[in-house]
Amino acid sequence: MGKNGAGKTTLVKLFNGLLKPDKGEIFVNNKNIITLSIAELAHIIGFVFQNADNQIFSRTVSDEIGFILKNFGYNESDINNQVSNILKRFNLEQFKERSPFLLSGGERKRVALASILCANPEIVILDEPTIGQDASEKKKLVSLLQELNQNRVTIIIITHDIEFIAEYIPHCILMRKGLLIAEGPTKYLLANEKLLEEASLIKPQLVQLSDLLNFEKGLHTLEYMKEQILEFLKS
């Protein structure tokens, strides 16, 4: 997290070779990316762009999702099975023969993510994944990311959606002017006024409410806040 221009997207584009470093070295899974081709990195890292239109180009949703598997040389039967499974998983079956460009912004975002996950990457990077998604879709996204993470997939998210991070994401990195200024548990970082100001971020609403009610400082869960408010009202 960090203000526009902090270097978040530049940093993750260095991970998968879309940008090359001017100096220093980058290692992914203990391998220097200089020794890996873009294709090899694509097997390891899946990148979902902020604007899905920048990575969608196929005639139909099915073709879009299956494209990466064709590129990797999968046979047609395996591609069809994997695409069918992904369509069900993302609730996109009704759109499979539609042009992805005729879908809503949130739906195109889901197609872009589905096309990346089709290749089973070890690391998934999402740039502003909650843009255009309502509360219900955000919960589905969180459920999917948690499932991936439990299956040892590393999830990296770039976002300005501080409420989303506060509620669902346990670990956070703050950036400013191309530098990492803080890293640690979300509940501590997003309750630190000095760090938030330095990263040009606004306090999450749960922290603001906690401050107003003079509760213990920190980022608390919604359930904790409910319990504390009920106790306060009873007393």
The pLDDT tens digits for 79-88 are: 899 899 889 8
Q: Residue 224's pLDDT is what?
A: 83
Instruction: Please enumerate in sequence order all residues whose Cβ is within 8 A of that of 214, keeping only pairs 6 or more positions apart, or say none.
Output: none
Distance CA 45, CA 16 (A): 6
Residue 216 belongs to some domain of the structure: no
Residue 19 belongs to some domain of the structure: yes
Higher pLDDT, 54 or 180: 180
Radius of gyration of the chain (CA): 20
Q: Residue 179's pLDDT is what?
A: 93
Q: Residue 126's pLDDT is what?
A: 93
Residue 60 belongs to some domain of the structure: yes
Q: Residue 212's pLDDT is what?
A: 84
Distance CA 235, CA 96 (A): 57
Q: Residue 186's pLDDT is what?
A: 92
User: Which domain CATH number covers 175?
Assistant: 3.40.50.300
Taking residues 196-224, report their average pLDDT: 85
Residue 228 belongs to some domain of the structure: no
Q: Residue 42's pLDDT is what?
A: 83
Q: Residue 132's pLDDT is what?
A: 75
Residue 211 belongs to some domain of the structure: no
Between strands 154-158 and 123-127, the pairing is: parallel
Residue 107 belongs to some domain of the structure: yes
Residue 165 belongs to some domain of the structure: yes
This prediction has a pTM of 0.84
HEC per residue, the chain: CCCCCCCHHHHHHHHCCCCCCCCCCCEECCEEHHHCCHHHHHHHEEEECCCHHHCCCCCCHHHHHHHHHHHCCCCHHHHHHHHHHHHHHCCCHHHCCCCHHHCCHHHHHHHHHHHHHCCCCCEEEEECCCCCCCHHHHHHHHHHHHHHHHCCCEEEEECCCHHHHHHHCCEEEEEECCEEEEEEEHHHHCCCHHHHHHCCCCCCHHHHHHHHCCCCCCCCCHHHHHHHHHHHHHC
Average pLDDT, the chain: 88
Residue 176 belongs to some domain of the structure: yes
Q: How many domains does the chain have?
A: 1
Q: Residue 106's pLDDT is what?
A: 78
Q: Residue 172's pLDDT is what?
A: 94
Q: Residue 136's pLDDT is what?
A: 83
% pLDDT > 90, the chain: 31
Range of the domain at 54: 8-185
Higher pLDDT, 221 or 172: 172
Reply yes or no on whether the pLDDT at 56 is more than 90: no
